[in-house]
Structure 1
Amino acid sequence: MDNHLHQTNLRDQALAVLKLRLVSGDLAPGQIYSASSLAAELGVSNSPVREAMLTLVNQGLMEAVRNRGFRVIPLSDKDRRNVYDLRILLEIPSMARLASMKEKVIPRKNEFSKIAAEIVEGAKSGDIVRYLDADRSFHLGLLGILDNEQLTTIVENLRDQTRQYGLQALARDCGLINSAEEHQPILDAIISGDQPRVIKLMTDHLSHLVGDWAG
C-alpha cells in the first residue's frame, strides 16, 4: 500500500491507513502520536489526519492527550477474547451460509482467488499493511455477498478492534505465510458447497486471533 495519499477524500484514506497500523501493532498501545508527525509520513496536511484520529477516539481505539497528541488505547486480554468470541459467532455461520449459495460466489471466484494470492504475496514480502489490506478485502468482500450491510459493518468494526501484535514476528519466521495460505482453501470449500469444511477452516483461521497473532 502506498504510504502517500493522492485521492480527494484524504480523511477517509488516512483513517484506513491508521486502522491498518493499529491492527498490525505499528501504532503501539500506550504510545502517544501527533497528527503532524503522522501527516508528514503520509504526505498530507494535518487536518485530515487529525480528523481521522478524532474518529478513532470516537470509536474507542485512541484517546486524546491534551497538548500532546493521541494515545493508542491498549486492548486487554479480556477485550481480545470478547472480540474473538463475537467474530466466531458472526463470521463462521455467515461464511458457512455462503457455501449454500455458491452460485453467487462462483462468478467471483477469480476475483477472490486473486485477493487470496495478494494476501500470500504480502506475507512472503513481510509487508504487513499489504497483507492486512488484502485480508480485509477478502473477508469483508465475501461477507458482502450476503447483502447484509449491518453484518458487514459489525464485523468490520470488530476487525478494527483486533490488535494483531504478533504479525511482525510471524512475518520473520514464516508463520504469516502459513496463515495467509489458509484463504484459498476457505474459498475452495465455499465454492464446493462444503459447509462442514468451511466451518472447520474458519474456526482454525480465527483461532490465530487469540493465539500466535496476539503476540
Structure 2
Amino acid sequence: MDGFAGERPLVRATLKDQAMAVVRRAMVAGEVQPGQIFSASALAQRLGVSNSPVRDAMMELVHGGIMEVVPNRGFRMVVFDEHDLAEVYQLRRMLEVPAMGMLARTGVGGSESALRESVELCAQAARAGDSSEFLVHDRAFHLALLGLLGNGRLVTTVDRLRDQTRIAGMRILREQAALVRSAAEHGDLLDAIMARSPEDAERVMVEHMAHGRGT
C-alpha cells in the first residue's frame, strides 16, 4: 500500500486515535484487505511519527478483535466468516436494541441539538457518497446515544462489536447505494427517542442494524 485515503499529518496530542482513524478509513475503503499483512512501521513513517503511537493503535484494534498480530511481520485484518458475523450481530441486537428503548424512557437531557447535528453530518456524508466520512459520524452518533445511559462498559463493548461488523456492513451499504437510507434512519431513531416511544426506538434500531448487517 502506498498510502491511505484521508491521510494527513497528525497532531501529537492524539496520535494513537488519529492513526486508528486512518486505519479504520482504509479498511472501509478496501485499502486493507482481510488477511493482508499490515506494517505499523511503514504507516508511522508515512505519517511522520514514531512507531509507538501507531503500534498502540494497532494493539487497540487487536484487543477489539479486528486485527491480529503476525509475529516478526506486523498485523493483519481478521477474516470474519458468516458464522462470526452472525454471532456479533446477535450480540449487538441483545445490547443496542434494548438500550435504545431504555434511552427513549429516560430521555436525552440537553443533548438533542448535538445529536441532530450528528444526524445531519451523517446525511451530508451519505449524500456525497463518502462512506469513510459516513463511518466517522455514524460511529459518533451511535456511541453518543449509548453514552447518555451512563454505562462506559456498554459503550466500549458495543464499539468493539461494531468494529467487527462495520467493515463488511459498510461495503454492503456502499455496493447497494444505501448510505442515504441508513442516514435517514438515524433521524427516525432520534425522533422515536425524543417522542419517548421505546417500542418505536427499538423497532427502528432493529431495522437499521438489519440494513447492511451491522452498520
* TM-score, scaled to structure 1: 0.85
Aligned pair 1:17/2:22, yes or no? yes
Q: Percent identity?
A: 43
How many aligned positions are there? 210
**Contact 1:84 / 1:209 at 8 angstroms: preserved in 2?**
no
Equivalence for 2:202? 199
Q: Deviations over 1:26-53 (max 9, x none)?
A: 4210111212332345443333212322
Aligned pair 1:98/2:103, yes or no? yes
Residue in structure 1 matching 2:86, options 76, 81, 88: 81
Change (3 A) 1:21 1:208: farther
Looking at structure 2, the residues matched to 62 and 30 of structure 1 have their Cα atoms a distance apart, in angstroms, of 9
Map 1:97-176; keep pairs closer than 5 Å.
97-102=102-107, 105=108, 107-165=110-168, 167-168=170-171, 170-171=173-174, 174-176=177-179
SS of 1:202's equivalent in the other structure is: helix
Change (3 A) 1:13 1:75: same
Q: Deviations over 1:108-162 (max 9, x none)?
A: 2111111011111112222222111111111110111111111111111111222
The CA RMSD measured in Å over matched residues stands at 2.4
Looking at structure 2, the residues matched to 41 and 174 of structure 1 have their Cα atoms a distance apart, in angstroms, of 32
C-alpha deviation, 1:57, in angstroms: 3.0
Looking at structure 2, the residues matched to 41 and 200 of structure 1 have their Cα atoms a distance apart, in angstroms, of 45
Partner AA of 1:208 in structure 2: H
**Contact 1:24 / 1:165 at 8 angstroms: preserved in 2?**
no
SS of 2:167's equivalent in the other structure is: coil
Aligned pair 1:34/2:34, yes or no? no
Q: Deviations over 1:43-72 (max 9, x none)?
A: 433332123223333443222334433211
C-alpha deviation, 1:208, in angstroms: 2.3
Q: Flag the structure with more relative contact order, 1 or 2, with Cα contacts below 8 A and sequence separation at least 6.
A: 1
